[in-house]
A and B are shown apart, each in its own frame.
Chain A
Amino acid sequence: MKILKKINNPYLPAIIGTIALLILGQFLSAGFLSMNNISSILMTTSILTLASIGQAAVIISGDSGLDMSVGAIMSMTALFGPMINVGSGVLSFILMIPATLLMGAIVGAINGLGVQVLKVVPLVMTLIMSNVVNGFSIMVTKGQPSVMVGKELQGISKTLVGPFRILPTVVIVVLILLEVFFLRKSRYGRKLFLAGNNRNAANLCGINSKKVIVLAYIFGGAMAGFAGLMLVGYAGTAQMNMASSYTMLSIAAVVIGGTKLTGGKGTFIGGALGSLVLVLITNILQALNMAAGLRSLIQGIILIVILMMNSRAPKLRQ
């Protein structure tokens, strides 16, 4: 019982939010809890989850770390990933995954070096990198992307594993593996938390915190790159800047999941639950057929309410 309490605490707001939203959704539009709708919700959630895993690693690394280039990286790999064509469809698909991971990792490496070596504040560095990456995508595609998404890539949302589609299943497995073996058990994961908690202490313990933080940005970029490929596989077509909204969504997801923006604390699973909450909100509002503006207004208000309940800073007076 004690263990259960310990595990549940940071996730509690996200879990309560999810259950409340599911009930609300069913109440507002019949068929909300149908298998079809739920599996499409899980599909979008898993793409946002991939982005939020990377974001969480960067935020945990501390030093006011934040990756504002997630959306740009995702848009870029969504455009460039499907361009890989080596004849056989399956082989190209297999090649696409490391290629997009690499593309994201390169941008992440530039981010990390800029933040740690040039000492540009993360918010600004990643913001400017997102401008550069978007400009690069426009330059390469000449502003007219013509992307053919192969059958194999589209298969990520069409192939079924039992009652679920394949991508959410894979993402859940990857999520748990990363959480346990990367973040909690691995040597690097411990270093990451230490560096995020107290940089000076980490340095004094003989940890090269600069390297640790740069690696966190590289990991964040690579995850965003992979998320972009999954996004284009799900959407079936690619446009310029198609993923720009994912930047702030991924940050919001991580924060709703109980990670503090000050760093040194956080989980990947929390980010996944936060993603679920955000996707559910969007999905319910879409199901109600509201005007786009009103939808965005309500989304903003719900976010404010969640933030007020979940992440108020402690009182200055103690």
Chain B
Amino acid sequence: MNKVKKLISWNAFPALLLFVIFLGINGIMTGGLSVSFFRSFISTNAGAICVAIGVTATILVAGTDISLGSIVSLVNVVIVTAFEKGFSVPQAATLGLLSALLCGMFNGFIVGVMRINPLLATFATSTAFAGIALWILPYPGGYIDFSFGDWYLGNMFGFIPTPVILIGILVILWILVMKLPMGLHIYALGKDVKKAYASGINVAALRFFVHTFAGLAAGIAGICISANICAGSPTVGSTMSMNSIAAAVIGGVSLNGGIGGIWGGIFGASFLSILISIVVSANLSSVVQSFIQGLILLIGVTVSIAAADKELKTKIKRAIGGKR
């Protein structure tokens, strides 16, 4: 019973619930949930989930990062171009990951050391990163060896799908950080910058780290997406940054910082992904789809925020208690 209570009061619970409900709806609509459905679901949406993890990390310290989508595009373009220039697939992927890390560090430098508002700073850098991507590859095109795609869609260690491993790397890294004193510092910084600073926390270094981590997450997302489509496009990630912020909020991560965790980001992104797949499979006319997606997203966000609202909770409790 105690465990159930703990689960319900978990920040990420509304997102998990929404995800499960919509997974059920999807199962009914398409006639049963198969293993192959989950495989294709995770391989299509691993990128979105990784970006959501990255953005959640930055939101936890009361920041944001809207440049992650541009970083994803940049990684995709770097991988494709490097492969066409004669690098092998692993080398190209490493190059892509390195460029994402560099971008993340640059963000961290501007936000942490130069103390510029994260929203504006990452907007400016996202213009710059998207520009680099468009400069390297002005038109969609290019190709990557299909062995990359086979590796991505296949299994590692016999039975675990590769995308799960890639997401797992990020999750394990984050859990390790949380075990360190740094984890506590991140939450302290998110709750109150001034108090955190007064307690001797190195604010600039923490912000730098968080944005670098977000860059790494975007890099892995870029690898996932490149492997999934095996082609290059300079705008492949352009819609991802905004969606990931919405995902984090649905997952109970407070934009004021200090509340929530990466599981919220993961479940929020999963919910958004399943929502898109439901709307697509509902046989609606294509012109209505994005409107309905927007409406459901709006409802999802309001519900998850209302669920986290403590005032509302006590009101409901009182109403129920009064009847008894």
| B255 and A301 within 8 A (CB) | no
Q: How far apart are the CA atoms of A131 and B298 in the complex, in Å?
A: 9
Contact A139 B287, beta carbon cutoff 8 Å? yes
User: Chain A nearest CB: distance from B51 CB in Å?
Assistant: 15
**Proximity string of chain A (40-80) to chain B, C-beta cutoff 8 Å, 1 when within and 0 when not:** 00000000000000000000000010100000000000000
Please report the C-alpha to C-alpha distance between residue A142 and residue B287 in the assembled complex, in whole angstroms: 6
The bracket for how many chain A residues form the interface is 35 or more
Name the residue of chain B whose CB is nearest to the CB of A292: B134
Q: Any chain A CB within 8 A of the CB of B45?
A: no
Does A313 lie within 8 Å of B117, measured CB to CB?
yes
Note all chain B residues with C-beta closer than 8 A to A131.
290, 293-294, 297
Contacts of B294 in A (CB 8 A): 128-129, 131-136
With A121-B249, A132-B294 as contacts: A293 and B119 at CB distance below 8 Å: no
Contact partners of A64 in chain B: CB under 8 A: 255-256
Q: Does B127 contact A (CB under 8 A)?
A: yes
Q: Is the CB of A304 within 8 A of B110?
A: yes
B161 at the interface (CB under 8 A from A): no
Quick check: B287 and A293 within 8 Å, CB to CB?
A: no
Residues of B within 8 A of A166 (CB): none
B121 CB–A CB distance under 8 Å: yes
Asked if residues B127 and A120 are in contact (CB atoms below 8 Å), the reply is no
Residue B123 interfacial (CB < 8 Å): yes
Q: Taking A120-B305, A138-B290, A292-B138 as contacts, is the C-beta distance between A301 and B128 under 8 angstroms?
A: yes
Asked whether any CB of chain B lies closer than 8 Å to the CB of A1, the reply is: no
Does A235 make an interface contact (CB < 8 A)? no
Query: Counting CB contacts under 8 A, is A307 at the interface?
Result: yes
Instruction: Say yes or no: A308 contacts B306, CB within 8 Å.
Output: no
Query: Does B231 lie at the interface of the complex (its beta carbon under 8 Å from any beta carbon of A)?
Result: no
Task: Establish whether residues B245 and A293, one from each chain, have CB atoms under 8 Å apart when the complex forms.
Answer: no
- Do A291 and B138 have beta carbons less than 8 Å apart? yes
Assess the B305–A296 pair: CB atoms within 8 A: no
In the assembled complex, A97 has its CB within 8 A of some CB on chain B:
no
Residues of chain A in range 113-136 having any CB-CB distance to chain B below 8 Å: 114, 118-121, 123-125, 127-129, 131-136
Given contacts A124-B249, A293-B234, A312-B115, contact A139 B291 (CB under 8 A): yes
Residue ID in chain A nearest B305 by CB atoms: A120
Does B125 belong to the interface (CB within 8 Å)? yes
Given A123-B64, A135-B293, A251-B120, A297–B302 Cβ distance below 8 Å? no
Instruction: Pick the contact of B295: A132, A142, A293 (CB < 8 A).
Output: A132
Which residues from chain A contact B133 at a C-beta distance below 8 Å? Answer: 293
At the interface, yes or no: B154 with Cβ under 8 Å from chain A? no
**Partner of B123 from A135, A251, A294 at Cβ < 8 Å:** A251
Known contacts A139-B288, A291-B135: A124-B255 contact under CB 8 Å: yes
A101 sits at the interface (CB 8 A): no
Report how far A139 CA is from B254 CA in the complex, Å: 32
A146 proximal to B (CB < 8 A): no
Residues of B within 8 A of A308 (CB): 110, 114, 116
Chain A neighbourhood of B136, CB < 8 A:
293
A304-B124, A316-B194 known; A261-B255 Cβ under 8 A: no
A123 to B125, CA, bound (A): 18
Residues of B within 8 A of A248 (CB): 123
**B292 within 8 A of partner (CB):** yes
> What residues of chain A lie closer than 8 Å to B115, measured between beta carbons?
312-315
A311 at the interface (CB under 8 A from B): yes
In the complex, the answer to whether A114 meets B120 with C-beta atoms within 8 Å is: no
B130 sits at the interface (CB 8 A): yes
Alpha-carbon distance A294/B137, docked complex (angstroms):
11
Contact of A296 among B128, B242, B245 (CB under 8 A): B128
CB of A299 closer than 8 Å to a CB of B: yes
Among A120, A303, A314, point to the contact of B124 (Cβ < 8 A): A303
Tell me whether B246 is interfacial, beta carbon within 8 Å. Answer: yes
Decide: A304 and B301 in contact? CB cutoff 8 A. Answer: no
A143 proximal to B (CB < 8 A): yes
Measured CB to CB, the closest approach of chain A to B237, in angstroms, equals: 15
The 0/1 profile, CB within 8 Å of A marked 1, for residues 286-320 of chain B is 11111111110110011001100100000000000
Distance in Å from the Cβ of A226 to the closest Cβ of chain B? Answer: 23
B291 & A118 in contact (Cβ 8 Å cutoff): no
The reply on A317 being an interface residue by CB < 8 A is yes
Interface assignment of A14: CB less than 8 Å from any CB of chain B: no
Q: A261-B120, A296-B131, A299-B131 are in contact. Are A120 and B301 (CB under 8 A)?
A: yes
Given contacts A132-B294, A261-B117, A316-B197, contact A295 B287 (CB under 8 A): no
Cβ of B287 and Cβ of A143 under 8 Å apart?
Answer: yes
Nearest opposing residue in chain A for B248, CB measure = A124
C-alpha spacing A80/B171, complex, angstroms: 46
Task: Output the nearest chain A residue to B290 by Cβ-Cβ distance.
Answer: A135
What residues on A are CB-neighbors of B297 within 8 Å? 128, 131-132
Cβ B127 vs Cβ A124 within 8 A: no
6 A-B contact pairs sorted by A residue (CB < 8 Å): A124-B249, A128-B294, A251-B123, A252-B123, A304-B125, A311-B117
Interface, chain A (partner B; CB < 8 A): 64, 66, 114, 118-121, 123-125, 127-129, 131-136, 138-139, 142-143, 248, 251-252, 255, 261, 291-301, 303-304, 307-308, 311-317
